[in-house]
Amino acid sequence: MNRRQFVGALGQGSVAAVLGLNASRLLGQSSGHEPPVDCSPPSHGAAKHITFNTSAQVLPRKSVWDLSSTESARLASAYAALRALTVSNPNDPRGWMQQANVHCFNCSGGYQASNVEIHGGWWFLPWHRCYLHVHERILGKLIGDPTFRLAYWDWDTYPRHAIVPPPFMTPGALYDQYRGADATDVIPASITGPAHMKIVMGTQGTRAFMGGVSDPVHNHFPAGAMENSPHGPVHIWTGETNPSESPEPPGCLYPNTPGGQPMDQSQNGCLDMGVLATAAQDPVFFAHHSNIDRLWDVWLQTPGSQGNWNTSTWLNHPFNFYDENGDWVYITVADVLAQKEQSNLRYTYQPPQSATPLAAVVGGQNRRTRVKTTGAKLKQLTVVSTPAGTAVGTKPHVRSVTVPQTHLKGLQALAAGGPRRFTLHIDGLTLPSNESTIVDVYVGEPNANRTTEIGPSFVGTFSLVVPGMHHAHPAVRDAAFELRPETAALMVGQKKLTVTLVPKLVNGAEPAKSNLTYKRIYLTEGDN
């Protein structure tokens, strides 16, 4: 019996008692609500720069499947110690719930005073890398083992490892009862299968892969390809694997907390992993993010990759954490990049021992140059512009414009294998804060639908993971998709830019409803 059937059988009232919510889960959570209404950090003074242990051994982070039984037991004992700390001292900033709240208070609205949002843009990859590092140090310290390293969940070793890693499904410290995924559920191929991974990992542009400059003041949150998918859908899938089969209500174990909106799991999104505010309460979060972090390194080595951002605003940006001694510290982005990743953080990623090397999967031209702007850029080609917002709905949503001669020339060059200078933008994607969404985006395939295979017309996936229902304001994102030569060829043949948005649940079913709207769809050329 999985969690949803279990909940359905018991009814919501008795669930908390049976699962011991008040006894174990909520211990250490100040408010007693789920998810935390306010997950602000315990009080602290000014942050000091973290001290890196540059003489520690450099050791591999391995796939969970490549751990020896000793290493697997060590992983479980580290999380057991983390959970025990939350029980013995709920205010210790290193304990399990406090650690999970670090993720929560870095999500917009989780900690109202901060207005920090490390999702939806260029902070996404480096912030999570820093978070993994302090988390790894804390776990190592708690078990007195400086050689402890995290393990990653290589869901892209498909389909063999596209299941919740078995040690995380075994009763014990790595297990989380708030998951929709059962031991035999496999992540759909459209999320982590080879065809999708090839497109994501073959993305060349820095903004397209890593995300762009986020601007909370103007509500611009441009997530990159990796964050949009597979990152988001794997969260949603782990939390709620078969949303269309869930009993309603309640499905999710969120009580309808006063002041909060009830979670609507029919729209994807459920405890723990399916909601950003609670995601890091599930130990598999750290295995998931270790894989994202590993794939960032793989991407940097992939032919055509334009590499990391290199502006000082990004490089010098500090993130705050509690370290393994409970001290409030900061780490800058530059601290964790390139050779610093190894010299400061003391790990390498050992490739999955049983997988096809990703470079062989991605292929592509052996060229690593930043795209130079030569001459004037083409004007933006607008497909839709509706400042008040256009509803996407639950069925495929198609919009089209004729491509002018000026743009056809450039697209022909791209179709012939020229540099990837064209970007499709969807701006102002907006959702209420209790709803997640997954939308596949196609260009040049007017009849694309939920069964369309990933091919030349597929440009990417937009996803949004529920921040948490206490985050009062709607979530807003800007999406950008780099066009590939084969997609440009379709546009040249049709002399049209036809964009099809295909909403779907994480299991591929049609959503029962959707409140997703957007403001603009347009094409740009040159650096964006």
The alpha carbon torsion through 206, 208, 211, 212 (nearest 10 deg) reads 80
Nearer to ligand C2O, 102 or 483 (CB): 102
Q: Does 179 bind ligand C2O (CB under 6 A)?
A: no
DSSP annotation of 215 reads B
Q: Does 294 bind ligand C2O (CB under 6 A)?
A: no
**231, 420, 425, 519: which one contacts ligand C2O (CB under 6 A)?**
231
Locate 258 and state its tokens. Answer: 């006063």
Nearer to ligand C2O, 39 or 279 (CB): 279
Size of the site for ligand C2O (CB under 6 A): 8
Q: Does 392 bind ligand C2O (CB under 6 A)?
A: no
The alpha carbon torsion through 107, 109, 114, 120 (nearest 10 deg) reads 40
What is the smallest separation between the CB atom of 233 and ligand C2O, expressed in angstroms? 11
Residue 12: CB atoms within 10 A of its CB come to 16
x-or-dash string of contact with ligand C2O, 55-94, rule CB under 6 A: ----------------------------------------
What is the smallest separation between the CB atom of 232 and ligand C2O, expressed in angstroms? 8
Q: Does 477 bind ligand C2O (CB under 6 A)?
A: no
Nearer to ligand C2O, 231 or 420 (CB): 231
Nearer to ligand C2O, 229 or 500 (CB): 229
What is the smallest separation between the CB atom of 276 and ligand C2O, expressed in angstroms? 6
Quick one: CA dihedral 138, 141, 142, 143, positive or negative? positive
**103, 179, 196, 477: which one contacts ligand C2O (CB under 6 A)?**
103
Nearer to ligand C2O, 61 or 397 (CB): 61
H-helix or E-strand spanning residue 400: strand 397-402
Q: Does 471 bind ligand C2O (CB under 6 A)?
A: no
Strands 437-443 and 59-63: unpaired
Nearer to ligand C2O, 235 or 407 (CB): 235
List binders of ligand C2O among 306-345 (CB under 6 A).
Answer: none
- Which residue do the tokens 């103007």 mark? 218
Cis peptide before 35 (omega within 30 of 0): yes
Q: Does 235 bind ligand C2O (CB under 6 A)?
A: yes
Question: CB–CB of 274/465 below 8 Å?
Answer: yes
Q: Tell me the C-alpha distance between 144 and 208, whole Å.
A: 41
Q: Tell me the C-alpha distance between 59 and 145, whole Å.
A: 13
Compute the C-alpha angle 178/286/349, nearest 5°.
150
Locate 134 and state its tokens. Answer: 């302090």
Question: CB–CB of 26/78 below 8 Å?
Answer: no
Nearer to ligand C2O, 25 or 128 (CB): 128
Q: Does 223 bind ligand C2O (CB under 6 A)?
A: no
Strands 318-322 and 517-525: unpaired
φ/ψ of 480, rounded to 5, equals: -140, 130
**64, 142, 226, 279: which one contacts ligand C2O (CB under 6 A)?**
279
Q: Does 420 bind ligand C2O (CB under 6 A)?
A: no
Q: Tell me the C-alpha distance between 170 and 167, whole Å.
A: 5
x-or-dash string of contact with ligand C2O, 118-137, rule CB under 6 A: -x--------x---------
Q: Does 207 bind ligand C2O (CB under 6 A)?
A: no
What is the smallest separation between the CB atom of 107 and ligand C2O, expressed in angstroms? 7
Amino acid identity of 439?
V
The residue ranges that bind ligand C2O (CB under 6 A) are 103, 119, 128, 231, 235, 276, 279, 289
